Each structure stands twice: as C-alpha cells, then as structure tokens.
Amino acid sequence: MTQNLKALAWREAATGGFYLGVLYAILEIAGFLLRTHTSIAALINMLHFFALGGFLYFFTQRMVRHRGPLGMSFGQCWGFTLRMSLFTGILAGVGLFILFRWIDPTSWQQQMEQASSTLVQNGWDQAQVESAQGLTQALIRNPLFLILGGIFQLELYGGIIGLLIAFFTRRPPHLNTPSDTL
C-alpha cells in the first residue's frame, strides 16, 4: 500500500507540475514580451503567484483525499509541494529556453550590452566585463542551465509558498478506535 501511495504521489506531482509548468512558461514568455507595459507586467506577476498557490493547494488537497484515513503530515504536504515545484521548474526552464532561443533571441543580448556599458562606465575593467558577458551568453544558450535555473527558482518560490499550503492542507491520520465505530 505504501509503495502505491508513493507512486501515486509522484504521479500527482508530475500531473500538477505539468499543468502548472505549461501555464507558468506561458506567463513567463508573456511577461517577458510585455515587460515594457508595467501594469500588464504587474498583472502577470500576480497571475504567477496565484497560479502557483492555487495549483499547489488544489493538487496537495487532492493528494490528501487520495490518502484518505492515513492523512498527511505537514512534512508530507510540504514534500509534495516541492515535488510538484520540481516538475513545474523543468517546464519553466524549457519555456525560458524557447523564449531566448526562438521567440526573442536578441532582447537579452541588448540587455547584456546595456548592462556591460553601465558597468564599464562605473569603473569596471573592460576585459572582465567582456569575459563575464561571454560566459553569460554561453550559459543562456545552454538548455540544461536554463532548466536547472527554472528548477532552482521554482523549488525556492514553490517551497516558500508550499510552507503555507502545507499548514492548511495537513490532515492527521484517522485512527479507528472503539468509540469511533459505535
């Protein structure tokens, strides 16, 4: 039974992480493309927060219902939110890779050039700035780096929100005592 519950928890986390990851990637791309409109960017940031919280709550609550009388402790609920955030982070990283590779490949280069010129104007060494810029360009083109960055971002963000969600979704196990059956 425990092995089935572990497999079910991973499957539910993957399912929730997939749906949330696709939505999160779409919102990341939309937020990046509409970053010049501050009110729309703020709305997209709010959607990020509420989508993450809502999906984590819904799927954690769903997992609690699957476990039935076994309940879920605070740590189990938080662990489930971290699992789901892992899968969400993978898809968020893929979304960023798609954004930087095919949708808008020149915008981050313009941002890097602007940041580099600002650093040089503020007294940084030109060679060091160019070296850092070259390293950054190589990392941005690497899908593994962006996926790992997405995982780290969502584990941190989802983990913090998951603490609150775990507090509200935890359920103690239902113990069958003789007084309960009467």
pLDDT digits (tens, 9 = 90+) for 121-163: 999 999 999 999 999 989 989 999 999 999 999 999 999 999 9
Give pLDDT tens digits for 90-115.
Answer: 999 999 999 999 998 888 888 889 99
Across residues 1-14, what is the average pLDDT? 90
Q: How far is CA 111 from the centre of its chain?
A: 24
* Structure confidence at residue 3 (pLDDT): 81
Q: Is 159 exposed, middle or buried (0-12, 13-18, 19+ CB in 10 A)?
A: middle
Q: What percent of the chain has pLDDT over 90?
A: 79
Under DSSP, the state recorded for 80 is H
Under DSSP, the state recorded for 104 is -
Give pLDDT tens digits for 45-57.
Answer: 999 999 999 999 9
- Quick one: how many helices (H) and strands (E) in the chain? 7, 0
181 pLDDT exceeds 50? no
Determine which helix (DSSP H) or strand (DSSP E) holds 157, and give its type and residue range: helix 143-169
Of 176, 152, 161, 160, whose CA–CA distance to 69 is shortest?
176
Across residues 5-15, what is the average pLDDT? 96
